[in-house]
Chain A
Amino acid sequence: MLSNQELSAILDVGEAMLTYGGEVSRIEQTVSKMCMAYGAERVDAFSITSSMIVTVRLPGEEVLTQTCRIREWAIDYGRLAELDELAGEIAEKHLNPKEIGKRLEKAKTTSEMSGIYTYVGSVLAAGGFAMFFGGSFRDGISAAILALVFTLIDRKVNHAWLNRIAYSFITSFVSGMIAIGMVEMGVGEHLDKIMIGGIMLVIPGIALANAVRDLLLGDVITGLLRLCESLLIAAGVAAGFAAALFLGRGWL
């Protein structure tokens, strides 16, 4: 029969899935499924991006409720896939809390690729999209260089103390200035295409689409939360690029 410890373990898995970018409604279902597998009569799981609450009704009189807080949001689909698999196994095999804890730790520290891949990824993303939107090969190279610098700053400078909006503003501003620099140096041809390549790295486009999706699916609170956050970050990005363009136009 489901104990509080087991529920804690299940909740930890759910929390991890939310942290690594899982879909809210799907995770609610996954948690329910795990609890039901341990013999629950009824499970009510509810989650928003920053908190999850589960109430389980067991056969007999007992009712368990636990909540957990999701503190950060760092998308990692490799870990999410591991956790998804773990959740399936928990439901099938009724793993005990210690076992779940061990597997969870392993899943949370899985690292698909070393830091250098982050550079590769951002170079491909920025360069690819600069050309996708019509830029020339030189624009692609410029955007790629922009991506390298951007990633370097992102990784080396400790920005945990900055709020997301301020950070978006600063990185966008720096990206904008680099783009202008590229054109000035004669590497890049079309400033707008290079900047678009850079923008793709910072805009919360995915988060925005997810926000509207959550709203449309009826997860109004999550949707609104994500929407507001996305809009604020987008505003930060806009301000950053605008500032760079404004300053740059003065020089160009």
Chain B
Amino acid sequence: MMVQVLMAFIGSLGFSILLHTKKEWLWLAAIGGAVTWCLYLICANNMNSYFVCNLVAAIGASLYGELMAAIFKTAPVIFRVPAMVPLIPGGSLYYTLSAALAKDNIAFAEKGLETVITAFAISVGIVAVNIVCEPFRKRA
């Protein structure tokens, strides 16, 4: 599990670099990814629904983004996106494809649904935080 969190950090760091994040913010953006994944794991430990786990983790990532944005007086996207990266359903998507190729319709439906629901949960998380934080934003 620690390895996974470390890999989440490394993966988020990689994406932060690809997104041309400012050098001084790179590490913070990557930590966001690790924190988000920790949040997800804590949730997963206590309940079975991957929808809720992704939702909570996405809310965490968005809040992290807003917090960093407030501290550094910049746009929340910059910190939110790298933090979200560990949640992106890359694995589910791959297995969806794999099942389709193997003509395993049941697995295809299951993994496909997982992919879509995960993406949906992430979006709901982003929106929820957006709506709550909106009135508090001083900078446009």
Contacts and interface: CB of A to CB of B under 8 A. Distances in A.
A87 B84 contact: no
B20 A112 contact: yes
A121 B140 contact: no
B20 A200 contact: no
Interface size class of A (residues with CB under 8 A): 35 or more
Interface in B100-140: 100-101, 119-120, 122-124, 126-127, 130-131, 139-140
Interface string B9-29: 111111111111111010000
Interface stretch (A1-9, A56-64, A241-249): A241-249
Nearest to B75: A84
Contacts of B126: 209-210, 213
Interface in B61-111: 73-78, 81, 84-86, 88-91, 93-95, 97-98, 100-101
Interface in A61-82: 75-81
A124 interface: yes
Question: Interface on chain A toward B: helix, strand, loop, or mixed SS?
Answer: helix
B94 A199 contact: yes
B59 interface: no
A200 B75 CA distance: 24
Question: Interface on chain B toward A: helix, strand, loop, or mixed SS?
Answer: helix
B3 interface: yes
Interface stretch (A24-32, A101-109, A162-170): A24-32
A125 interface: yes
B15 A121 contact: yes
B7 A209 contact: no
B88 to A, nearest CB: 4
B117 to A, nearest CB: 11
A39 interface: no
A94 interface: no
B77 A21 contact: yes
A22 interface: yes
10 contacts: A21-B77, A75-B20, A125-B85, A209-B88, A209-B123, A212-B120, A216-B124, A234-B93, A238-B93, A245-B101
Given A208-B119, A245-B98, 7 more contacts: A77-B78, A84-B74, A84-B139, A128-B14, A199-B90, A205-B119, A209-B122
Interface of B: 3-4, 7-23, 25, 73-78, 81, 84-86, 88-91, 93-95, 97-98, 100-101, 119-120, 122-124, 126-127, 130-131, 139-140
